[in-house]
Every structure is written in structure tokens, then in C-alpha cells.
Amino acid sequence: MLIKRPKGTQDIIPGTIEKWHYLEEQIHKVCREYGYQEIRTPVFEATELFQRGVGETTDIVNKEMYTFLDKGQRSITLRPEGTASVCRAYVENKLYAQTLPAKLYYLGPMFRYENTQAGRYRQFHQFGIEVLGADDPLVDVEVINLLWDFLQRLGLRGLQVHINSVGCPQCRAVHGEKLLAFLMDKKDKLCPDCLSRLTRNPMRILDCKNKDCQALITNAPTTLDTLCPSCRQHWEKVQHYLKLVNIDFMINPKLVRGLDYYQKTAFEVMAEGIGAQSAICGGGRYDGLVEEIGGPPTPGIGFAAGLERILAVMQNQKIEIEDRNKAGVMVAILGDKARQEGFRLAGQLRQKGIITLMDLMGRGLKGQLKYADRVGARYVLILGEEELAKGIIIVRDMKIGDQQEIALANTVEFIEKQINSSEFEI
RNA sequence: GUGGAUAUGGUGAAGCGGUUAACACACCGGAUUGUGGCUCCGGCAUGCGUGGGUUCAAGUCCCACUAUCCACCCCA
């Protein structure tokens, strides 16, 4: 094989695509029920959008973006996440002038230039929702509730919701100072990454995975310790509402998400058994983002869920989905006249919404039956010169292994009745 | 960017220096002429990721490269 797909990309082929279709259906369904509307934005944007929207200090912007110059020398970036684009579209289309809040969801591929591993790809898919224009803690919980509901409907078990509040810029500044003071005499023991975080984004030292740093910060002040009265009240209410809707959550003061735009509520959903990358969804509140990219001051909150990771959990937990693509009917034909009549018949059956296949390989009857068996067709209609001459057709039930002759003219009606009868099971 | 493991047909894999590269599954064909799933029979890699090297002899040893998988950082 000469040409292979680029590193970190995936071909989704028959056998797997059914799972994607199923996931996508569930997404559309749950979003509709919660009153969210789909938004589709370009898969590439001006690089500046992500630099400003995601944040210059983030790994995404620093090392993971697929950026290139187009023929007009514009710097273009394949979107690494969805929130910045949705906010841009919200501003550009003046959705703030319509009924608020804007409750939006999206679904599609994202791109990050990273080394691959289990659950990490260069092109991956996210489903996400965003609520723009509402700052009530109830909104935070509606968002988490939708997410949780969705995951429960899929039948996923053993998931954990981690939640934290990182405060607003004001209380975060206070936290930064306290953290700095706390680390004053420990500076030289921090890892190089954390040393640079110290000045750029000290909060992120809290979730450094380096063991030495972990030890240093065990008793460090967390953002929860320094919440201002307003943020504290918001945080208390979020917890209250979460309990109200019976969502078990775990407060994780070290949960400090990588994207610069998060404020107040931050959360993640973790799963086991899918490798080191165990976060299947992440989200939070980003009240300053819309303003940052040139819109009116607008509170916002949302999450993004990784579809590959959710599928990995489903596979790990052996959650099967029904295959609805099995053929109902396979038309087996012998001879050219039968071929023509069978082709016509297949067309009629398809018009009735019955999945109908027919031989396209010039196989003999035996081969056609074998094919019907392979593709899981329930009925085979056998039509040859003899049947044609008598004006009949043989209906073979592949599951029972039985067959009968019926009048050719009644075929569609007969099959329709069979398939709609309560006994019919693929 | 860094580290580890692995690279043999459509798939899973044996082979670990010496004649024709096991085996299983899948696939294709056949077992009386128009009937599937079971069974039986037959077919299916001049080739062992790529390029060098060592050797009388290499899938088998050495080197480089590439790819894949996993892991670190971080995240979906």
C-alpha cells in the first residue's frame, strides 16, 4: 500500500459507522428535548480566533494547532475545539439580538497536532453545547444535566463527574497572589513547566502531573479557598442544583482546565478502561470569552464530549447497538428475463421502505442464496424462467428455512405483510 | 518534542541462520445439471514494513529510516 491515511486520522467504515449514526441520533434527540439548536461553523477559521479565544498560554495554541497560510497569505487554522467558533458565529450573526439565551449544540471533527495514543487522535470528533447570555447557576446545572442524561441513555456505567470552581478574574488574581506567596520558598523545586506557569497562569500549577510538584502543592491554596462572595454563591448554588437532579459529583479543587477562558464552574467526566486519556467530556463557564472576541459582554457555558472516547467506553463495557441495516429481502434471479422482472420488483419493494438487495455479481442461485445469508436477508425471492412462465415467485424464509410459491403479482403486498407482522424479527 | 514495544497473505498468527514460508479464520471454486447456514475437497504470500550491511546462505543477525501501538506533557 503506497498511500496511507495521515497519522492520527481514522477511516470509519461499514461495521463501525452504524455506531456513529446511533451516537449522532442520540445527540440530536437529547439536544432537541432540552431545547438546543444545532449550529454548524467552518472547520477552519482565522488563526487569531483561537489565539484570542482559546488563549496564548494554552498547549492547544502553543503546540497543537494545524496552522497554514492559504493562497491569499491568510493564516488559517483547523479548529482545535468548538467553543471559540460558536462564540464567533454568535457575534458575527448577531444572535444576541435574538431571543436569549442562545442554546446551541455542535457536532463534528476537531484537529490537534499531537502525538497519538489511545483515545488521542489528530482528527477527532466532539459533540458540544453552549449556552450564551445566561449566567444563572441553574444554567450550569442544565448543561451538566444534559450531558449526564445523554451518557446515561447510552448506558455508560461507572462514570465520575468532577467539578470545581476556578473563580472570576478578580478572585483568581487573589488566588494567584496567595499561591505565589505559598510557593515563594519552594520555587526552585518546581518543574520547568510550572516555573513558567508561575508568571503566566499560576493556577495551572495546581493540576501539574509532575510528582514533585504534586507533593509541593498538596497544601497549596486552591481557587475554592479564595472565591469572592459572588463566585462563592454561584458555586454553592451549582452544588445545590446538582443534588436536586441527583447527579453524583466529586469536588476536585485541583481540576483546573487548560483553556484560558474558563471562569467559575469547571467540570469533567471521567471513565475507566479506555487508557490513560480518561476524560470523555470537559466543560465550564466562560463569561468573558464573547467580549474577548469582540462581542457584547455575554456569559457563556458549555462542554465538549469526545465521541471516540465515548465509543471506546461503549466498547469497553460491551454496549451493543441494534443493527438496523440488515436486508429484508434479497431478490434472486435466474436468466435475463427474470433479471429484468426482478429488478423492477426490487424497485417496488424499496418504494415501500423495505431494504432490498439483488444480485449484482452474476452469481448462480447457490451463490445468491449464500450472499443473502451473508448479508442477513430475511427473505429471498426466487425468480427464474419457470416461475415467470407460471406467473409465480418463490418466497424463501431464510430464518425458518421454508419456502412457498405465491402469485408474482401479489409479491409486494405479501412481503409487506410478512415484514410488518409481529412475528417478523431480523 | 521525548521514551518503550511491534512490523510475516484480507485477518489472527507460527517460523528465531540452511531445501517448496506452518496453522486457523475469511474469501473464491467444487461435492449430478435452479436453493444458504453444517460437513468434505480444492484454490489462495516467487513473499516476510523500506533501504543498506554481515554471511557460502537472512523472515530469522546488525544499522538506519518509516509506520503502527502504548506512554509522558496536555487534553476529547
Q: Where are the domains of chain A?
A: 17-168+228-316, 329-417
d(CA A135, CA A262): 13
Residue A52 CA to nucleotide B7 C1', Å?
Answer: 43
Residue A10 CA to nucleotide B23 C1', Å?
Answer: 32
d(CA A232, CA A175): 14
CB-CB neighbours of A251 under 10 Å: 13
* Parts of chain A with a pLDDT under 50: 422, 424, 426
Q: Between vectors from CA A62 to CA A58 and to CA A67, what angle results, nearest 5°? A: 125
Q: What is the DSSP string of A131-146?
A: EES---HHHHHHHHHH
- First-to-last alpha carbon distance for chain A, in angstroms, is 38
Residue A201 CA to nucleotide B11 C1', Å?
Answer: 50
Decide if the complex's ipTM is over 0.85.
no
Architecture of domain A329-417: 3-Layer(aba) Sandwich (3.40)
Query: Which of helix, strand or coil describes residue A69?
Result: strand
Task: For residue A388, give the nucleotide whose C1' atom is nearest its CA.
Answer: B34
Residue A1 CA to nucleotide B60 C1', Å?
Answer: 24
Helix residue ranges per DSSP H, A245-380 = 289-292, 307-316, 336-351, 365-374
**Looking at residue A2, what is its pLDDT?**
64
**Looking at residue A258, what is its pLDDT?**
66
**Looking at residue A206, what is its pLDDT?**
81
Task: For residue A332, give the nucleotide whose C1' atom is nearest its CA.
Answer: B35
Q: Is there a contact between A378 and A397 (Cβ–Cβ < 8 Å)?
A: yes
Residues 6 or more apart whose CB falls under 8 angstroms from that of A255 comprise A162, A163, A164, A207, A266, A267, A268
What CATH class does A17-168+228-316 carry? alpha beta
Residue A130 CA to nucleotide B56 C1', Å?
Answer: 73
Query: Which of helix, strand or coil describes residue A253?
Result: coil
**Looking at residue A176, what is its pLDDT?**
85
Which residue lies nearest B76, CA-to-C1' measured? Answer: A306
Question: What are the beta bridge partners of residue A395?
Answer: A381, A404
Residue A125 CA to nucleotide B68 C1', Å?
Answer: 21
Task: For residue A401, give the nucleotide whose C1' atom is nearest its CA.
Answer: B36
Task: For residue A270, give the nucleotide whose C1' atom is nearest its CA.
Answer: B76
Residues 6 or more apart whose CB falls under 8 angstroms from that of A89 comprise A39, A41, A95
Residue A117 CA to nucleotide B55 C1', Å?
Answer: 40
Task: For residue A279, give the nucleotide whose C1' atom is nearest its CA.
Answer: B76
Residue for grid cell 487569531: A48
Residue A2 CA to nucleotide B58 C1', Å?
Answer: 25
- How many CA atoms lie within 13 Å of A384's alpha carbon, on the beta-carbon side? 9
Task: For residue A4, give the nucleotide whose C1' atom is nearest its CA.
Answer: B67
Residues 6 or more apart whose CB falls under 8 angstroms from that of A190 comprise A183, A198, A205, A212, A213, A216
**Looking at residue A57, what is its pLDDT?**
79
**What length is written for chain A?**
426
**Looking at residue A422, what is its pLDDT?**
47
Question: What are the beta bridge partners of residue A388?
Answer: none
Which residue lies nearest B49, CA-to-C1' measured? Answer: A1
CB-proximal positions of chain B, under 7 Å: 1-3, 27-30, 34-37, 67-76
